Amino acid sequence: MPGPSPQDDPRHWHLDKRLNLSHLITTLAMAASIMWWGAAMDRRVAVLEESRQVQRSIDERQDADLYRTLTAMKEESRLLRDELRETTRKLDRLIERIPNGNKGA
In a domain, 15, yes or no: no
Q: How many domains does the chain have?
A: 1
3 vs 62 pLDDT, higher one: 62
Instruction: Answer whether residue 64 shows pLDDT above 70.
Output: yes
pLDDT digits 0-9 by tens, 4-26: 566 666 677 877 778 889 999 99
- Mean local confidence (pLDDT), 32-51: 95
How many CB atoms sit inside 10 A of residue 2's CB? 4
The 10 Å CB-count burial string (b at 16+, else e) for 47-62 is eeeeeeeeeeeeeeee
> Taking a C-beta distance cutoff of 8 angstroms, is the pair 7, 1 a contact?
no
Average pLDDT, stretch 26-39? 96
Higher pLDDT, 99 or 54: 54
Q: Which domain holds residue 48?
A: 38-96
